[in-house]
């Protein structure tokens, strides 16, 4: 007996457009059957076109990338896309775009499918403790100001977990595996772009407090014991909060506080209740 592991039906752009209520994000919306990486293409276009909102989607990526040039596995049936944003904020605020995108993804997965999606600092969205989405923000800056940012979102949507390499099976999930059915990616993409447009409007007005509050209410690891790998060093402690810049605040042994701006986090013991 053979089970179809991926959905071969291409994304319908006209259906996405029917669901889209945005003025900026998703205009234009450009779809490719295959690309090396949507972030790579979005950066190329951002350098040539002055507009904000260009969104690149690929059915599959041959060189999908995570942070530190790690490989992002991107088979067909997933939702792999990148948005060009040009927020008029100082360059130091740009890392918070990743938080913004993670809020958009977690809120949308909760609203559309009733999934208990949780954010894991700094750039993951998890369902049932497993990674369903990763975010990669890359920016071009000029001195203190931001030229543009590309927010790349990878969401494991309509393919079976077995499509991913064995090494990722225990840490990852897909929407299809969680919901036991396929979803309309067009509806999901349209809703995500709507959410991102509205959060990006607040972002551009520097209403970061609202964003950080939403982030806190969706973050699963606050209060948990965690280990963060930062440049080869392992920092252990309790995740207490994030600061104004989106950096993680940890309480170490002896009540010492340490703030980390980037790293890979593993939850070692869940918080009892929040």
Looking at 100, 119, 136, 222, which residue binds ligand BT5 (CB under 6 A)? 136
> Contact at 8 Å (CB) between 61 and 72?
yes
3-state SS assignment for residue 240? strand
Q: In whole angstroms, how close is the CB of 209 to ligand BT5 at the nearest point?
A: 26
Residue nearest to ligand BT5 (CB): 134
Q: In the complex with ligand BT5, which residue's Cβ is closer, 1 or 164?
A: 164
Q: Which two tokens stand for residue 168?
A: 């990722």
Please tell me the distance from the alpha carbon of residue 65 to that of residue 91, in angstroms, as a whole number: 22
Please tell me the distance from the alpha carbon of residue 77 to that of residue 89, in angstroms, as a whole number: 35
Tell me the residue length of the chain.
274
Cβ neighbours for 74, distance < 8 A, ≥ 6 positions apart: 58, 60, 61, 62, 64, 80, 154
Q: In whole angstroms, how close is the CB of 195 to ligand BT5 at the nearest point?
A: 17
Stretch that binds ligand BT5, among 131-139, 211-219, 250-258, 265-273 (CB under 6 A): 131-139
Is 161 an interacting residue with respect to ligand BT5 (CB under 6 A)? Answer: no
Binding mask 42-71 for ligand BT5 (x = CB under 6 A): -------------------x--xxxx--x-
Looking at 26, 95, 154, 246, which residue binds ligand BT5 (CB under 6 A)? 154
Q: How far does Cα 89 stand from its chain's mean position?
A: 20
Q: Which two tokens stand for residue 192?
A: 């995500």
The count of chain residues that interact with ligand BT5, using the rule CB under 6 A, is 28
In the complex, the residues that contact ligand BT5 under the rule CB under 6 A are 37-39, 61, 64-67, 70, 72-74, 80-82, 123-124, 131, 134-136, 152-154, 156, 164, 168, 172
């Amino acid at each position: 007996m053979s089970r179809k592991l991926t959905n071969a039906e291409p994304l319908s752009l006209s259906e996405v457009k029917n669901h889209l209520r945005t003025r900026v994000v998703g205009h234009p919306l450009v779809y490719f059957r295959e690309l090396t990486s949507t972030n790579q293409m979005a950066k190329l276009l951002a350098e040539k076109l002055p507009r904000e909102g260009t969104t690149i989607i690929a059915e599959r990526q041959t060189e999908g990338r995570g942070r530190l040039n790690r490989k992002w596995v991107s088979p067909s049936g997933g939702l792999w896309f990148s948005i060009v944003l040009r927020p008029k904020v100082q360059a130091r605020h740009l890392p918070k775009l990743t938080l913004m995108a993670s809020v958009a993804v977690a809120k949308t997965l909760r609203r559309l499918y009733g999934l208990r999606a949780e954010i894991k600092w700094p750039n993951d969205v998890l369902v049932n403790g497993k990674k369903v989405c990763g975010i990669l923000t890359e920016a071009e800056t000029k001195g203190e100001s931001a030229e543009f940012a590309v927010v790349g979102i990878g969401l494991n949507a309509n393919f079976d977990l077995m499509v991913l390499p064995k090494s990722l099976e225990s840490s990852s999930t897909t929407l299809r595996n969680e919901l036991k059915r396929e979803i309309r990616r067009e509806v999901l993409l349209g809703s995500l772009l709507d959410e991102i447009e509205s959060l990006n409007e607040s972002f551009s007005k520097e209403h970061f407090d609202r964003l950080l509050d939403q982030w806190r209410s969706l973050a699963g690891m606050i209060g948990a014991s965690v280990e963060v790998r930062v440049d080869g060093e392992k920092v252990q402690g309790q995740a207490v909060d994030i600061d104004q810049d989106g950096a993680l605040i940890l309480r170490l042994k002896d009540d010492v506080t340490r703030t980390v701006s980037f790293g890979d986090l593993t939850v070692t013991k869940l918080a009892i209740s929040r």
